[in-house]
Structure 1
């Protein structure tokens, strides 16, 4: 055995970087120097192993460096598959230990990231042997994992903890882990046209897309289509259970009390996609059910916790575990407490169920800005138009317009004429809801009758940015920084007097969400506009602007109260509303002008807003919904 003279290599890295004896100056390992040659081979093998276990990696390069490529390649690939390795680092340790001039062994420190679990570490050993003048890695299972042989194999088991609940403001669970059934089909051409048709008709699954997924997938796979509640599947089982190729799997999923309950806020869960898997974090698996919208998406990692897992060395014949070689304990998720009130959420959804048109209702606590209920109806939807909808607020925005005019020195008793129409530089504005001109009146009368022309007649009192500044007092234009996406409204500075006039009646470029308009009503009740809060401790809270002038607050409260007592919001008089404002906004939909019906207001410390898409007017469309909602609680 040849010994290295003159120079002692301090590490394998120095050896493979070109550490040589005094007789070699080429910088390349000397094939006749067993230490150098084996170290260089082990280094190359380690790099090839890393490539083999990379995403879409192949074992060919690593196998070619062994003395039995045809058997070692599949073995290395098989361990990768068994561990579900996402990646690996393989680092040669120390210097090779050579028993003779033809055999050297060197340790390998291995760190494999097991997808969906974490990092598993071990030390294996690579033996380099010289045969026929060529150095090769001995194709042994020990090279991959100590003790691995033809008679055994590695098996991993991943265990995901139960998903934590989303809670209401009192700590009551809004979601719990409930039994579900994952409905799908067998890969290939097992499912028939009747199977896909039934899935599309009964469960609204896109049959064509599912068929494509099934026919292009490898044989023997389960192609998931949809996850439904176990009780819903029990109803469908008699007619769908025996369809050719249809398969089901049982499981649990974090779900609210019903499919519609707070769906757009709580959110939904689906089998992970590339996008949602990235959001779910490094320990998530592509087979996991993860949050796709709402709070389930925003707090995915907190709710899901950390999975655990084990890897055991098992007997190839008996399949029994020989020993456990890796164990990582999972960590349960932690709950997310919201400001939602379970009862008010139920009442909101029950009220929206009475509508034949798409509608949204938001209720907030005026004194804190905390969101008590947010519902979209009359059918279940994941699109949260209550928070994200960008609508012209129509005459509900006259709350802001009144505040702007009150800021110029006007009062609720200041005269404002109501005419049938008003012309502003060639643009004719009219009144809605069949309101007839009544001539001379006050701001309060214009407010409770929702006279557009009366408010527009005062546009000369406001500076060019008057409406924008007034809107800012109510929080418009702010980034709400809520836990889930929400729109805080926008009131751009008008480009001319015509645009300013349109903004005074909540039209033109003025947009708001139902959430923002509920916050406007809350600001009148509270005296200061607040930031909305859905998840305390996560969402920003507190004032969004300085307090409204006391005179302005008092005047707005009085006008909103008068509107309930004898104005367009009188539909709420019987349910004790303290103040309200209706609104009808013209919008263009599919090339046609339609109206959306609005109503905002407050009762006690609960401020609210409702929009009905395509509603004839605020009083006729939104009024009955709010009457139903407020009539359900005191």
Structure 2
């Protein structure tokens, strides 16, 4: 090793820059005869190659090629990567090389590996650089990767998931809890038969063809999961289903509601992570984890899941015994998510929807706070939350808004409005719903109670072009709701012409709203001010969605909605206390055919509600019985 007292370097930086008595090759390449330059260069290149080797889909070939035994080192580097389940790594050479002679140098490496699903593990190893011929190589050794690995020792990782926290109701009681489940799947390859895949379709509604394709593509000996079901469901299937060729199961726990149907589209579902849901689950999640896929389970995945713990131990390659624990991280349990849901009202809502033969949704809110009490979709379970996301023409329920607009334009509750069979607006003919006969002039209250389209449309000229848009905003329609789960707040675009304005007055045309948005409209009448809906207090925006409605308008609308129950189209609710409501029938085009959706919105006490029945004949006939069933069960 060269020693030159005449040359004095001012800093370590200058040393690595070539402050020696030997000149570098032309082009700035390190001098292979300068042991510090040459060894520092190979260590730097090795560190960069290591980083690439442990990157997603990385290969160890480039790092192995820099060692003196590439045939074996690449496999060793890969094994440690797999054992740690490293997501990524940074490898940084430390200080200057320390050389014992002209052919042997060492340099420390600071390593930080992100262990997928646990966290970051840090250590320092030492790379030994040796000169072989004219080239410098890294001496292949397990100790280069981790100190103490040597030739046969290995690292063992164990990950521990904390119990998932519960989603709570408005009183702080659990709506979800960790319950026993069974993951049902098949063995990889061709073990499962056609009868097996047919049973998956018939018994578990799993696409057998897709499951078969996954099984054939999977590595030998692998469990290919298909569906996760509750333990009691599996116990009923096991005697016959479990004996089919290729069927495999794994036990576990999952955060579940009291039943498969309870608040399903609201609370959400959990499944084995996919690329999308794994990204949402955050850096401590693993591809094998059960994570939230929809609803609140998805929105609050990281809060509910907490932080996994884990250990990495150095094991003896011969005895398999632990030599020492080299990394340990304590897991942190998740924290619950408290909602505004009233479980009794949620059950009542689901039971009411179960009586329908058509797709239907029901939302109940508390007008005085805006808090969502129940949200249900039926009659069969669905992950799609129509109650929040449905974009429907609100039909005649929107006459609540239209009445407010007309009262604000100077009309009074006693202004006579003509109810005719039809009305023509610039070539477009509008009519009333089937069964309503024209009755001539009558006050606005009668037009509201009987839901006379032509009576309201007759006043379209009184409104400015943005009259309905501004009136809708008074009821919170048109806002971005920014709830913890996706929700649609409705839209009332300014009409492009008089025909569009006339259509908007009866909740048709370009007017759309969700059942949640219409429950807010009903709640605004009861409370006097539209409040922003809240599902998760402290997370969802709360407070007024608009300025208070004019007192005279509120008084008029309350009377209109009450008399619609006592003597109008919402009479189905008459036996159940002081309910107030408005029915609606909206014509929509589905698959090229015109169908009607039945609506009813209203309130009783401090509960406001909205129901839609897709394909319902009318609001009174389709939505009315559902709401009657619902409100009959609570005081």
| Short-chain TM bin | over 0.9
Query: SS state of the match for residue 478, structure 2?
Result: coil
- Residue 413 of structure 1 and its aligned partner are, at CA, apart by 1.6
Contact 2:576 2:628 (C-alpha < 8 Å) held by counterparts: yes
SS in 2 for 1:416: strand
Query: Post-superposition shift, 1:578?
Result: 2.7
Q: Retained in 2: the 8 A contact 1:20–1:36?
A: no
State the secondary structure of the residue aligned to 1:57: coil
**Structure 2 Cα separation of the partners of residues 498 and 51 of structure 1:** 64
After TM superposition, give the deviation of residue 424 of structure 1 in Å. Answer: 1.1
TM-score by length of 1: 0.98
Alignment of 1:160-179 (within 5 A): 160-179=161-180
DSSP-derived class of the 1:528 partner: coil
Q: CA deviation at 1:206?
A: 1.0
2:478 corresponds in structure 1 to 477
Note the C-alpha offset of 1:9: 7.3
Q: 1:259 to 1:15 in 2, by over 3 A?
A: farther
* Secondary structure at 1:467 match in 2: helix
Measured after TM superposition, the shift of residue 170 of structure 1 is 0.3
Matched residue, 2:406: 405
Greater shift in the superposed pair: 131-140 or 170-179: 131-140
Distance 1:199 1:17, change over 3 A: farther
| Aligned residue number for residue 516 of structure 2 | 515
- Determine the structure 1 residue equivalent to 2:194: 193
Q: Contact between 2:141 and 2:151, CA under 8 Å: does it hold in 1?
A: no
Aligned equivalent of 1:324 = 325
Aligned counterparts of 1:331 and 1:446: Cα–Cα separation in 2: 61
Report 1:529-608 matches (<5 A).
Answer: 529-608=530-609
* CA gap 1:438/1:330 in 2 versus in 1, 3 angstroms: same
Describe how 1:79-228 pairs up with structure 2 within 5 A: 79-228=80-229
- The match for 2:620 is 619
Please state whether the residue corresponding to 2:237 is helix, strand or coil.
Answer: helix
Instruction: Tell me the distance in 2 between the aligned counterparts of 1:242 and 1:543.
Output: 59
Mapped partners of 1:16, 1:359: distance in 2: 74
Q: Secondary structure at the match of 1:633?
A: coil
CA distance in 1, matches of 2:46, 2:420: 89
Contact 2:397 2:583 survives alignment (8 Å): yes
Equivalent in the alignment of 1:252: 253
SS in structure 1 opposite 2:345? helix
Secondary structure of the structure 1 residue equivalent to 2:149: coil
Does the CA contact (< 8 Å) of 1:20 and 1:30 recur in 2?
Answer: no
Alpha-carbon shift at residue 23 of structure 1 (Å) = 4.4
Post-superposition offset of 1:159: 1.0
Partner of 1:282: 283
Q: How far off its partner does 1:149 sit?
A: 2.0
CA distance in structure 2 between the partners assigned to 1:23 and 1:294 by the alignment:
67
Distance in 1 separating the partners of 2:24 and 2:547:
81
3-state secondary structure, aligned to 2:584: strand
Q: Distance in 2 between matches of 1:375 and 1:554?
A: 30
In structure 1, the residue matched to 2:507 is 506
| Count, aligned residues | 633
Question: What's the secondary structure of 2:623's corresponding residue?
Answer: helix
- Which residue does 2:2 correspond to in 1? 2
C-alpha distance in 1 between matches for 2:578 and 2:600: 12
Asked if 1:68 is matched to 2:69, the reply is yes
Structure 1 segments unaligned to the other structure (5+ residues): none
Given the alignment of the two structures, is residue 421 of structure 1 paired with residue 395 of structure 2, yes or no?
A: no
| 1:366–1:605 CA contact under 8 A, matched in 2 | yes
**Contact residue 7 and residue 21 of structure 1 kept, 8 A:** no
The Cα of 1:67 is off from its aligned counterpart by 1.2
- Report the Cα offset of residue 287 of structure 1: 0.9
Q: Give the corresponding residue for 1:360.
A: 361
Deviations along 1:494-514, one digit per CA (max 9) or x if unpaired, are 111111111111111110000
Q: CA RMSD in A?
A: 1.3
Per the TM alignment, residue 134 of structure 1 is displaced from its structure 2 partner at its CA by: 2.7
Asked if residue 29 in structure 1 is aligned to residue 30 in structure 2, the reply is: yes
Q: Give the equivalent residue in structure 1 for 2:461.
A: 460
Greater CA drift, 208-217 or 518-527 = 208-217
Unaligned runs of 5+ in 2: none
Q: State how far apart, in whole Å, the 1-side matches of 2:18 and 2:382 are.
A: 66
Q: CA, structure 1 residues 7+43, in 2 after alignment: closer, same or farther (shift >3 Å)?
A: farther
Partners of 1:598 and 1:187 in 2: CA distance: 50
Deviation at 1:18, TM superposition (A): 4.2
Deviation at 1:423, TM superposition (A): 1.2
In the alignment, the residues of structure 2 paired with residue 474 and residue 75 of structure 1 have an alpha-carbon distance, to the nearest angstrom, of 67
Partner deviation per Cα, 1:469-517 (whole Å, 9 max, x = no partner) = 1111011111111111101111111111111111111111110000000
- In structure 1, distance between residues paired with 2:113 and 2:294: 32
Partner of 2:448: 447
Change (3 A) 1:76 1:414: same
CA deviation string 1:419-459 (max 9, x = no partner):
11111111111111410111121100110011111111111
Rounded to whole Å, the distance in 1 between the matches of 2:139 and 2:10 is 24
Deviations 1:494-544 (A, max 9, x none): 111111111111111110000000000000000011110000111111111
In 2, the alpha carbon distance for the partners of 1:294 and 1:336 equals 12
| C-alpha distance in structure 2 between counterparts of 1:87 and 1:253, whole Å | 29
| Counterpart-to-counterpart distance in 2, 1:378 and 1:37 | 74
SS at match of 2:499: helix
- Which SS does the other structure have where 1:441 is aligned? strand
Q: Is the 8 A contact 1:412 1:559 kept in 2?
A: no
1:129 to partner: Cα distance? 1.5
Q: Deviation of residue 132 (structure 1)?
A: 2.8
Residues 527 and 553 in structure 1, CA contact (< 8 A), matched pair in contact too: yes
Matched residue SS, 2:397: helix
**What is the TM-score of this pair, normalised by structure 2?**
0.98
Deviation at 1:14, TM superposition (A): 5.4
Q: Please give the secondary structure, in 1, of the residue aligned with 2:418.
A: coil
